[in-house]
Structure 1
Amino acid sequence: MLKQKILVVDDDKEIVRLLRGYLEKAGFGVLVAHDGRTAVHTLRREKPDLILLDLMLPDMDGYDITRIVRNDAALQQIPVIMLTARVEDSDKIVGLELGADDYVTKPFNPAEVVARVRAQLRAKSRLMSGGDGLEAAVYRTANIQMDTGRREVKIDGKLVELTPTEFGLLQTLLENPGFVFTRSELIERGLEQEYIGMDRTLDSHIKNLRHKIEPDPKNPTFIQTVYGIGYRLAEDK
């Protein structure tokens, strides 16, 4: 069985050494880049299963690399976990809005990083298999159509590109139209991660999803906020 490949991008060689040890012990193959240009070259050549990406790099930052990944059809389904020493919410939210799937703040527990890697790979596997190992399904509501077998989402018949995280969240909502999910339920079912500390991450992913599927993202009609509780997908009337 081929090992899943993780690309670790960080100019701090001690951090790379630490993460490499934990990831290899967990059974992953590890690719390494210490600068942005090498990272992009490795991405295009190796097409890893996931990227652990430092924000601060010598030649280009993690934001630039995330833009490249999300705008390249051959790479855009690769999950991105950002590694950042920046603690401000605004910095984290920018990364999520560019298409990162998760972020980890330095200093970090490497065992937690491995857990987050596994969570993102499970979400990606769910997307690639059509959902939880079950038979592929097609969901329709209003002008949204999701085909889990083809891994496609169409709005008014036009294809919309979603990240694995966005796809997982939308699938969870489409499977349960009208059901109000608390933030913890949506994170645990849609992102397959633990709820702790994930509020802002979820809100950023929902914002991205609305920009892609809503006619007016500032006044959403499909993904509705239920204040004080969480989110729901509007039922067809």
Structure 2
Amino acid sequence: MSVLKNKSILIVESDDAILNILSSRLKKREMIVITATDGYDGYIRACTESPDFMIIDDLLPSMNGYRLSRMLKFDDRYKDIPILLISTTPENGNNPHQVKTGIDKLLYKPFRFSALISALESMGEK
């Protein structure tokens, strides 16, 4: 049985095409999908829904993904929710923002859906 089945996931992504693809594919894996299209809405949804996992894009309107992640990870109510940040700018595997913001996993675009699932499963097993 998958560690992801029946778990809730908040996807914060401003690109509608990516948001729809991720949402559709994660629903097929029997996940409960919550969506937001900007950083502020993502913060509100995270606070009201308390998802089991979060996927956050780094480039978002109103509040970037790093700031959103930092706000959530440094709040005792949400610090244990695993965050997978999706970034467009690889930094040779050495991203200083990952440490400063408490991000659990970092995935660079473009990525395979199987890599995203592996990252989520490894976060869910902790």
Could you tell me the TM-score, scaled by structure 1's length?
0.49
Which amino acid in structure 2 is aligned with residue 5 of structure 1? S
What stretches of structure 1 of length at least 5 have no aligned partner? Answer: 124-237
- Residue in structure 2 matching 1:94, options 93, 97, 103: 97
CA deviations on 1:125-176 (whole Å, 9 max, x unpaired) are: xxxxxxxxxxxxxxxxxxxxxxxxxxxxxxxxxxxxxxxxxxxxxxxxxxxx
Distance 1:10 1:81 in 2: 12
2:67 counterpart of 1:64:
yes
Structure 2 vs 1, CA of residues 112 and 70 (structure 1 numbering), >3 Å: closer, same or farther? Answer: same
- 1:4 has 2:11 as partner: no
1:67-118 deviations in Å (ceiling 9; x for gaps): 1111111100001110011012477331233200111100111122122111
Q: Which runs of 5+ in 2 are unaligned?
A: none
Distance in 1 (CA, whole Å) between partners of 2:107 and 2:29 is 18
Instruction: Work out the CA distance in 2 between the residues paired with 1:98 and 1:36.
Output: 15
How far does the alpha carbon of each residue in 1:166-217 deviate from its partner, in whole angstroms, 9 at most, with x for none? xxxxxxxxxxxxxxxxxxxxxxxxxxxxxxxxxxxxxxxxxxxxxxxxxxxx
Higher relative contact order (CA closer than 8 Å, sequence separation 6+)? 2
CA distance 1:91–1:41, shift in 2 (3 Å) = farther
In structure 2, C-alpha distance between the alignment counterparts of 1:84 and 1:99, rounded to whole Å: 15
If you compute each CA radius of gyration, which structure gives the higher value, 1 or 2? Answer: 1
- Alignment check: 8 A CA contact 2:52 2:81 kept: yes
2:49 aligned with 1:46:
yes
What code does the residue aligned with 1:102 have?
A: K
Among residues 79, 82, 96, which one is paired with 2:82 in the alignment? 79
- Structure 1 segments of 4 or more deviating over 3 A? none
The number of residue pairs the alignment matches comes to 122
Q: Is the 8 A contact 1:84 1:106 kept in 2?
A: yes
CA distance in 2, matches of 1:36, 1:91: 24
8 Å Cα contact 1:22-1:111 kept in structure 2: no
RMSD in angstroms over aligned alpha carbons?
Answer: 1.6
Q: Which residues of 2 match residues 25-40 of structure 1 at below 5 A?
A: 25-40=28-43
Contact 1:81 1:103 in 2 (8 A): yes
Deviates more, 1:73-82 or 1:91-100: 91-100
